[in-house]
């Protein structure tokens, strides 16, 4: 096992995003490479872990998109960061009710963590699903990309503006192997990039997912070349948000970011308007960003609940209701989570199925 000082190699410090990349994804040391963080026994619970109905609704959305694309004989559905595979299992199960779509769709999983990939391969055992190391290998379309809590897991850079000058957040290690944050005056290159985005231009604290944008560049390229779109659901904000959103979670509780390094998850809130501008710059169209609550209700989650209730006893009904409430209640995940849909300019399908 690598010790934290090994991550720094011979350097004494590194920018925040390089640090996050290492503590989350380093092959020996990274949080996501070492453990299965999902569920009650893990560190956090995501929507696909809460209820199968989340995956059912994503499947309904996928089926409607496929219909709007005039029922292509082949379509690639690519899940970005599939975690423990819960969503993929729900989709496979639900698609059995739509045999024509089931026949047409190839499900491709794109996962960076070798440990999670092993878990996925153990749980998902069908020819329908393939794993891919590089998005460049996708040759056929149309393509539909999907990611739940994928964007928040991408490392960010952080900057602070003081008297009009930009300073970038770094992490340093001292002789006792303790890590600390500090700010260093920014070099010219990132400053030029940041000025391109209205969503952060006037912020005092600026968060910028440089790694994520590089990754999404390939997603955008495939959508432009092969037709289709990308749907991302995540916690984040639309209105201007001028503070540090980095957070760490361990065993379902907030954790100091520099404590339990590589034993706790570290994420940031997604700046949805920034992603919208990014997708627009890449020549894609972005629909209105909506809340998870609105999205799941438009797809019919309550109607599905009512149908299922006919077969459930009272305890089961209240259990299922509790889970749906967690997904759609405005004070729970309903409003904190937002949905963004970027698509090929020729595509007339909309986020709310019109
Ligand atoms: C917070 S988890 C969400 C998992 C799952 N989507 C869910 O909702 O339960 C983030 C996932 O994205 C994966 N991931 C993060 N960065 C990635 C990247 N650059 N490429 C592929 N997978 C990545 C992680 O390993 C993990 O599976």
pLDDT tens digits, one per residue of 235-290: 999 987 788 999 999 999 999 999 999 999 999 999 999 999 999 999 999 999 99
Given a cut of 70, whether residue 52 has pLDDT beyond it is: yes
Beta strands in 12-51 (DSSP E): 13-15
Residue 192: what pLDDT?
A: 72
Residue 211 Cα: closest atom of ligand 1: 19
- Listed by start position, the domains of the chain span 38-154+210-343
Q: What is the CATH number of domain 38-154+210-343?
A: 3.40.50.12710
Given a cut of 60, whether residue 1 has pLDDT beyond it is: no
Of 56, 68, 145, nearest to 98 by C-alpha is 56
Of 20, 37, 81, best ligand 1 pocket probe by most atoms within 8 Å of the beta carbon: 81
C-alpha neighbours within 13 Å on the C-beta side of residue 161: 15
CB of 232 within 6 A of ligand 1: the answer is: no
Residue 133, phi then psi, degrees to nearest 5: -90, -30
CB of 83 within 6 A of ligand 1: the answer is: yes
Residue 38 Cα: closest atom of ligand 1: 9
Give the position of tokens 């893990």: 42
pLDDT tens digits, one per residue of 98-154: 999 999 999 999 999 999 999 999 999 999 999 999 999 999 989 999 999 999 999
* CA 36, chain centre distance (Å): 17
Residue 134: what pLDDT?
A: 96
Query: Which tokens belong to 234?
Result: 């995540």
Q: What is the pTM of this model?
A: 0.96
* CB-CB contact of 60 with 146 (8 Å): no
Residue 354: what pLDDT?
A: 67
Query: Which tokens belong to 68?
Result: 């709007």
């Amino acid at each position: 096992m690598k010790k934290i000082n090994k991550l720094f190699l011979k350097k004494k410090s590194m920018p925040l995003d390089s640090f996050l990349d290492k503590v989350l994804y380093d092959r020996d040391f990274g949080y996501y490479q070492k453990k299965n963080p999902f569920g009650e026994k893990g560190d956090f619970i995501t929507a696909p872990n809460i209820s199968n109905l989340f995956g059912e609704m994503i499947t309904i959305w996928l089926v409607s998109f496929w219909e709007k694309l005039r029922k292509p004989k082949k379509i690639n559905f690519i899940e970005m960061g599939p975690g423990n595979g819960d969503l993929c299992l729900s989709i496979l199960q639900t698609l059995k009710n739509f045999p024509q779509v089931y026949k047409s769709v190839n499900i491709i999983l794109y996962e960076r963590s070798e440990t999670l990939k092993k878990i996925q391969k153990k749980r998902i055992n069908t020819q329908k699903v393939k794993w891919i190391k590089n998005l460049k290998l996708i040759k056929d379309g149309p393509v539909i990309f999907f990611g739940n809590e994928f964007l928040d897991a991408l490392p960010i850079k952080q900057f602070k503006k003081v008297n009009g000058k930009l300073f970038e957040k770094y992490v340093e290690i001292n002789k006792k192997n303790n890590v600390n944050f500090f700010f260093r005056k920014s070099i010219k290159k990132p400053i030029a990039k940041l000025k391109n985005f209205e969503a952060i231009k006037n912020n005092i604290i600026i968060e910028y997912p440089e790694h994520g944008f590089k990754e999404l560049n390939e997603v955008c390229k495939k959508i432009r070349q092969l037709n289709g779109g990308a749907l991302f659901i995540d916690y984040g904000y639309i209105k201007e948000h001028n503070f540090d959103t980095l957070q760490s979670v361990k065993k379902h509780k907030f954790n100091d970011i520099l404590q339990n390094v590589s034993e706790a998850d570290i994420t940031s809130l997604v700046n949805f308007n920034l992603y919208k501008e990014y997708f627009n710059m890449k020549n894609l169209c972005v629909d209105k960003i909506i809340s998870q609550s609105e999205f799941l209700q438009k797809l019919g989650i309550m109607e599905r609940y009512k149908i299922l209730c006919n077969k459930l006893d009272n305890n089961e009904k209240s259990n299922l209701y509790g889970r749906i409430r967690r997904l759609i209640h405005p004070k729970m995940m309903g409003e904190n989570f937002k949905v963004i849909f970027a698509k090929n300019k020729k595509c007339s399908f909309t986020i709310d199925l019109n």
